[in-house]
Amino acid sequence: MEAFGYIGAYVEEREKLIEDGFADVKDADGNMTEENKEKRCEQSDMVFLLLNIAVVPDEVIKQSDFSTHGWASKFKENMQAFKDKWAADGKGEWKY
């Protein structure tokens, strides 16, 4: 995955390794703001999502707005809701 520009969520302080072309936004202490960290991680997460989009249910994709900051959190919520409904419908655990 790293060959495609994805830096996994398991990498500590990965926001420092992701380059999105924008200047760092720092707080009064000189640290990257939480919003800036989240935006950096979303850039990398989009690469992961696109490489795996074939196994994401259509209804989850249709509910997601990838043009706004915070899409990753909403996508995660939508995916969890899909998994919960899948299990509630008696289909077992979603494994894809």
Q: Does the predicted model carry a pTM greater than 0.85?
A: no
Look up residue 4 and give its amino acid.
F
Query: Which two three-digit tokens encode residue 52?
Result: 């795996």
Tell me how far apart the alpha carbons of residues 14 and 32 are, in angstroms, rounded to a whole number.
12
What is the tens place of the pLDDT at every residue in 29-60?
999 999 999 888 888 888 889 989 999 999 99
Query: Which two three-digit tokens encode residue 90?
Result: 């008696």
Q: Greatest CA separation found in the chain?
A: 52
Backbone angles phi, psi at 14, to 5 degrees: -65, -25
Structure confidence at residue 3 (pLDDT):
61
